[in-house]
Every structure is written in C-alpha cells, then in structure tokens.
C-alpha cells in the first residue's frame, strides 16, 4: 500500500472557549477518494482548512509528502485583485501546468473568461473557483461544497471530470448522489473526533447507526455501573480503608466520564401545519407559453397536478424552472394558454434566495410575524422558543438578527417559517440548499408524510428520487416534459440526465443541416514499422518490471519509521517511486496506442 500523501494526527482546536476538534485525524493516499461528513457546525470546513495548510491547529501533527501539490476550493472564493475570470484562474496555475487549461475549463463550465469577478452570480463564482482548482491537476484536490449554487448539468459534468482524474479527492458535500458516485472512503466528524470507514458514502448511514447504537449501550452500561458503585458507597463501606479509598476514586472517575460524555446533537423536528384538504384537482395547465423578449421560456406546455402529488421541476439554470413554478401557482400569468387552480388552496412557499427574510429581523419576529411569542403548528399553539428548539436553535437566538445566521441556519429558519404556515400546498424552491444530511432525512420524511400537494424545484437527484411522484424536465427551447417517478426514472425513460450538452445537441439538431462534405477516401491498410512492432513486443516485459519496482518501493515507504530514522533514504525512495510510476504510466499509454494502431491496420 502506498504511503499517505497527507496525514493529520490528534488535531485539537478550540474556538471561543468551545472545543471544536478534540483528536481528529485524516489520512489521504494517492488516488484515494475521501468524503468528509458530519453535522453543520461540526468542524468539517475547519478540518479541511487545516489539511490544506490554511489554518493552524492548537495541537496535533500535519504531514504532507515533499513535492505533493494541494488545491483547495473554499466555500467563498476571493476574487479581489483580478479583473477577469481568466486572470483569476490563470493565477492558480503552477510553472509546470499547461496554460491552455485555464481557458478550456472556463469554457467547459460555461464562462467566457472575460467576466468581471465583482459582478458574478453565486453559480458563476462557484464555476470560476472550480476552474481555478481543476486547471493545475494537483496530487490532492480538497473541495468544500463544490456543488453549491450549481445546476444539474454542471454537477453531472463535475462528477465525470473528477471521476476521470488521478488526483486524490477530499470532498465535503450535502449532495448524497454526488458523494455516492465519487467516494471510496468515508470520514465521519462527530463531536470533535473522526471515525473512518473504508467504503464509500453509500455504506455510511448503516455504519453510523450501528456506531451510535453501540455508544448508547456503552452509556447504559456506564450508568448501571455508577448506580452499583453508589449503592456500595451508601451501604457497603465496611471493608479495609485502603481498598475503599481506591474504589471511591474509581467511582469519581466514572462520574467524570459520564459528565464528559458529549451526546449526539439533537435532530431537527419537522412538522407541517396542514390546512383543510384542497379539491382533488390542484393545478391544471393547458398549452401555456411564456416569452421574455426573443427567449421562449415555456412553449405550449400542459400538465395536471392532483392532491397528494409531489412534483419535481428540474433543468439547467436559466431554463425557466422558477418561471414555470410561478405560473403553475398563479403568481404570474402565461402569455397564452390557461392555468386553473383548484378549490380551497392554502399555499406555503419556501423561496430559493431566502428573500422573504428581512436581514435585521430577529428569529422570534420572523416566526411570529412580530405578534406575541406564540406560533400555531399543526393546529396547536406553541411557544416560539420551544418551536425554535425543534430546528436546533438555542433559546438565546430568539433575539438574534437574521443577518448573523449561517447559510444552514437560514435554511432551517425558512423551513420553520414555511412549515408553521397552515397549508395544503407546499411550494419549495431549492429547499435542500445548505441543509445537512440529517436535516435532509427529516425533510424527506416530512414531505412523504404531508397529506397535501408539494411542488418543488431542486438539483438534488437523491432528494428527487425519494420524494417525487413525477418530474417535469426541461427539454430545451422552452419545451418541458413530464416523466413518472423521480430523477432516475426520468433518466431511464429518456436515456440521459439534465445535461446542458444534451440540450445543445437537441437544439443543433433542430437547425437546418448544412451540406455535408464529401467523405475522404479511406486510408490504405498498412503494417507497423519495425520500431513500433519491436516496442509492442517488448513493452509488456518493461511494464511488468516497472510494476515490480513500484511495489518494492511502496513497501519500503510503508515503513512508518523510515521518515524519522532515515530521511535521506525516504526522500530517495519517494523520488524513485514517483519516476517509476510515471514511466509505468507512459509505457502503458504507449502500448495501448500501438495496440489500437495494430488493430486498425489489421481491419
């Protein structure tokens, strides 16, 4: 096994008197794909910054292999000092990196390179930051929420790009499908410590639940042991004094262990306030269309939404998802066609940009509307502080201004506000933004149990698969199509996801075709040159020898004491291993090229 490129050991860090990391560890080997998961506020981003060398721990050890290159994607990139996005991306290239990759990756991500960084949208800023870290092809890529503000086409493109790379990956994301598709190792950061699972995110939740069950059993055993010792203390102190003193000390140690135990952070409690049932027919749209200038956003679309449906609207940014949503809920009129809303509709809305949250308003004001200290949830009157606790807010935060909240806290506050509004139709525009995995679980359960109708816009494929009864997908040029089931069902029915390339290809297919050039005459079949034929015959033996060198050097470097006892030998072995791996890669590529050439010539 190859030695780790990066290793963190016994990392401790305290912020404002509260321990954040208390012995966290992280190891990343060449080509390893690690996902770092944990609750919001557990310290994932901080641990990643320590790994990237941007934050110094109070205590612990960080080791990075000599000459190993690291690139880190922050949640909030800093564009200061750059006049264009191309200039920003090029600044991240090293001396040995290919200059063309900056413009190439910007183009792949839908940017021209001449954009002013000061006026970029959230999605554009995220794409420019991705281009900057992807262009150099480093040994380790550290990505903090890479899918934030991205639409599905870019998420799917990014998945393919990362899957094809040889770089080691460390990912923080709340996108389950993204983590499942890319990770091979899961590191769970929980109450300041890390637990490692040598399997991808798909196996994480069952493993986590098993660990928590074992922990709960241990705490029950501890409580029983303390109870037994306390009984002895009250009624059984009759033996020798020395033994009694020791046993009393053991009891104090057990009590301290119980006091020091940090229980699992509570779960969000989600319960929607439901109004009386709507009519069976909720929305009926017939041949609706909408244009903005020369751009057709919706073209001749019809759909019927019934009570109990959960409808997902999906497509690239700019396709018109929010416009379609607003037409279906009667907020804007179509240019042509008609939208008929059912009877007794009570609509509660969670908007994408959290625009309904006034920055200076307090949490209590947002939830009560500024009237009193009570909210009505599920037909029951509740004190606002108790309701806030259901969403993991402390009582002290009742007077906190919205502007002081994190992205995840704002997301929870918007959910609390929407769910406290009596409704039989929930309209959720990007409800999963900034929510941690545990809160996503509960949101899914709440949507599944909701007796009314749900219409949502989301880029979260896993969330769509779990809750949707049917999805409405953008097909390009204002065309929309309904598919039964979730996102995966849609992919199975039409053969591809919501890729921008697919939409561009369909739009190109609609344009008049140009006269095709005459095909060139086929090249005559020939034979390999003597040099190529000799190389094809000798390369397998060379590859086998190089592989043996790589294995031998890897075993040498696997010795944990080599670096401390023989640093020169360690450095020499590292250089030889790097050269052997490069030579092996080159030999494999050359053999593959010659083998394909031979097959082509032989027909």
Question: Quick one: average pLDDT of 427-452?
Answer: 80
Q: How far is CA 474 from CA 154, 313, 460, in A?
A: 15, 8, 15
In this structure, of 113-117, 363-367, 413-417, the range with the lowest mean pLDDT score is 413-417
Choice between 586 and 230, residue whose per-residue pLDDT is larger: 586
Q: How far apart are CA 154 and CA 501, in angstroms?
A: 10
Do 201 and 211 fall within a single domain?
no
Do 316 and 397 fall within a single domain?
yes
The answer to whether the CB of 22 falls within 8 A of the CB of 190 is: no
Do 256 and 326 fall within a single domain?
no
Q: How many domains are contained in the chain?
A: 4
Residue 344, pLDDT score: 83
| In-domain check, residue 79 | yes
Do 171 and 245 fall within a single domain?
no
In this structure, of 8-22, 140-154, 370-384, the range with the lowest mean pLDDT score is 370-384
Which of 206, 230, 246 is the C-terminal boundary of a domain?
Answer: 206
| In-domain check, residue 471 | yes
Do 183 and 309 fall within a single domain?
no
Do 247 and 330 fall within a single domain?
no
Q: What are the pLDDT digits (tens) for 493-548?
A: 887 776 544 444 444 444 444 444 444 434 444 566 767 777 778 888 888 888 88
**CATH number of the domain that 545 lies in?**
1.10.287.380
The answer to whether the CB of 578 falls within 8 A of the CB of 166 is: no
**CATH number of the domain that 497 lies in?**
3.40.50.300
Q: What are the pLDDT digits (tens) for 281-330?
A: 899 999 999 999 888 999 999 999 998 899 999 988 888 898 999 999 99
Helix (H) or strand (E) holding 375: strand 374-377
| In-domain check, residue 523 | no
Question: Quick one: average pLDDT of 332-349?
Answer: 89
Q: How far apart are CA 106 and CA 42, in angstroms?
A: 33
State the pLDDT confidence band at 378, using cuts at 50, 70 and 90: low
Do 200 and 224 fall within a single domain?
no
Residue 514, pLDDT score: 43
Q: Could you tell me the residue range of the domain that residue 177 belongs to?
A: 6-206
Residue 477, pLDDT score: 87
| In-domain check, residue 22 | yes
Q: What are the pLDDT digits (tens) for 470-493?
A: 999 998 889 999 999 999 999 888
| In-domain check, residue 407 | yes
The answer to whether the CB of 422 falls within 8 A of the CB of 280 is: no
Do 549 and 481 fall within a single domain?
no
| In-domain check, residue 485 | yes
Residue 389, pLDDT score: 81
Do 167 and 231 fall within a single domain?
no
Average pLDDT, the chain: 81
The answer to whether the CB of 141 falls within 8 A of the CB of 163 is: no
Q: How far apart are CA 272 and CA 449, in angstroms?
A: 9
Question: Hey, what are 86's tokens?
Answer: 């191309």
| In-domain check, residue 525 | no
Query: Helical H runs in 279-346?
Result: 321-328
Which of 457, 477, 510 is the C-terminal boundary of a domain?
Answer: 510
Residue 230, pLDDT score: 65
| In-domain check, residue 227 | yes
Which of 465, 481, 510 is the C-terminal boundary of a domain?
Answer: 510
Percent of the chain having pLDDT more than 70? 82
Q: Which residues are annotated as a binding site for ATP?
A: 38-45, 315-322
Do 200 and 75 fall within a single domain?
yes
Res 9 pLDDT > 60: yes
pTM as predicted: 0.67
Choice between 324 and 451, residue whose per-residue pLDDT is larger: 324
Do 160 and 63 fall within a single domain?
yes
Do 401 and 318 fall within a single domain?
yes
């Amino acid at each position: 096994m190859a030695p780790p490129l990066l290793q963190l050991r016994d990392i401790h860090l305290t912020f404002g008197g509260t321990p954040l990391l208390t012995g966290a560890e992280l190891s990343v080997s060449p080509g390893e794909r690690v996902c770092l998961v944990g609750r919001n506020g557990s310290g994932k981003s901080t641990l990643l910054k320590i790994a990237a060398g941007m934050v110094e721990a109070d205590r612990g050890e960080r080791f990075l292999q000599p000459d190993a290159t690291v690139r880190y994607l922050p949640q909030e990139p800093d564009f200061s000092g750059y006049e264009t996005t191309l200039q920003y991306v090029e600044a991240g290239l090293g001396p040995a990196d290919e200059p063309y990759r900056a413009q190439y990756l910007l183009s792949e991500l839908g940017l021209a390179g001449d954009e002013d960084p000061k006026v970029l949208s959230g999605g554009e800023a995220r794409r420019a930051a991705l281009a900057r870290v992807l262009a150099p092809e480093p040994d380790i890529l550290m990505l903090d929420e890479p899918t934030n503000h991205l639409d599905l086409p870019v998420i799917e493109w990014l998945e393919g790009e990362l899957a094809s790379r040889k770089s080691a990956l460390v990912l923080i994301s709340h996108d389950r499908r993204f983590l499942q598709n890319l990770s091979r190792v899961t590191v769970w950061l929980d109450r300041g410590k890390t637990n490692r699972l040598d399997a991808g995110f798909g196996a994480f939740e069952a493993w986590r639940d098993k660990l928590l069950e074992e922990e709960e059993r241990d705490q029950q055993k501890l409580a029983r042991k303390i109870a037994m010792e306390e009984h002895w203390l009250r009624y059984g102190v009759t033996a020798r004094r020395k033994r009694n003193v020791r046993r009393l000390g053991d009891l104090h140690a057990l009590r301290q262990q119980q006091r020091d135990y940090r229980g699992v952070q509570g779960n969000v409690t989600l319960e929607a306030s439901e109004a009386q049932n709507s009519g069976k027919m909720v929305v009926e749209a017939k041949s609706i269309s909408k244009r903005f200038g020369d751009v057709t956003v919706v073209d001749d679309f019809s759909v019927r939404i019934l009570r109990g449906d959960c409808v997902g609207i999906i497509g690239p940014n700019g396709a018109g998802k929010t416009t379609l949503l607003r037409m279906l809920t009667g907020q804007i009129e179509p240019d042509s066609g008609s939208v008929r809303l059912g009877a007794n509709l009570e609509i509660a809305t969670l908007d994408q940009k959290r625009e309904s949250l006034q920055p200076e308003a307090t949490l209590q004001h947002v939830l009560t509307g500024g009237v009193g200290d009570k909210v009505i949830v599920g037909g029951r009157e509740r004190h606002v502080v108790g309701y806030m606790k259901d969403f993991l807010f402390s009582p002290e935060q009742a007077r906190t201004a919205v502007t002081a909240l994190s992205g995840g806290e704002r997301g929870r506050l918007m959910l609390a506000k929407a769910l406290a509004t009596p409704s039989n139709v929930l309209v959720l525009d990007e409800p999963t933004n900034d929510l941690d995995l545990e809160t996503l679980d509960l949101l899914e359960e709440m949507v599944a149990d909701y007796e009314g109708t749900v219409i949502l816009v989301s880029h979260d494929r896993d969330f769509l698969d779990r809750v949707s009864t049917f999805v409405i997908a953008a097909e390009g040029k204002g065309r929309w199509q309904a598919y039964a089931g979730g996102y995966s069902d849609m992919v199975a029915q039409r053969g591809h996801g919501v890729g921008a390339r697919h939409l561009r290809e369909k739009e190109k297919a609609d344009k008049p075709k140009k006269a095709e050039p005459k095909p060139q005459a086929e090249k005559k079949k020939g034979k390999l040159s003597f040099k190529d034929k000799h190389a094809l015959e000798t390369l397998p033996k060379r590859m086998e020898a190089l592989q043996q060198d790589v294995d031998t050097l890897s075993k040498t470097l696997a010795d944990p004491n080599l670096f401390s006892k023989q640093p020169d030998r360690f450095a020499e072995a590292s250089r030889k291993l790097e050269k052997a791996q490069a030579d092996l890669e080159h030999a494999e590529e050359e053999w593959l090229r010659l083998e394909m050439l031979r097959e082509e010539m032989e027909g």
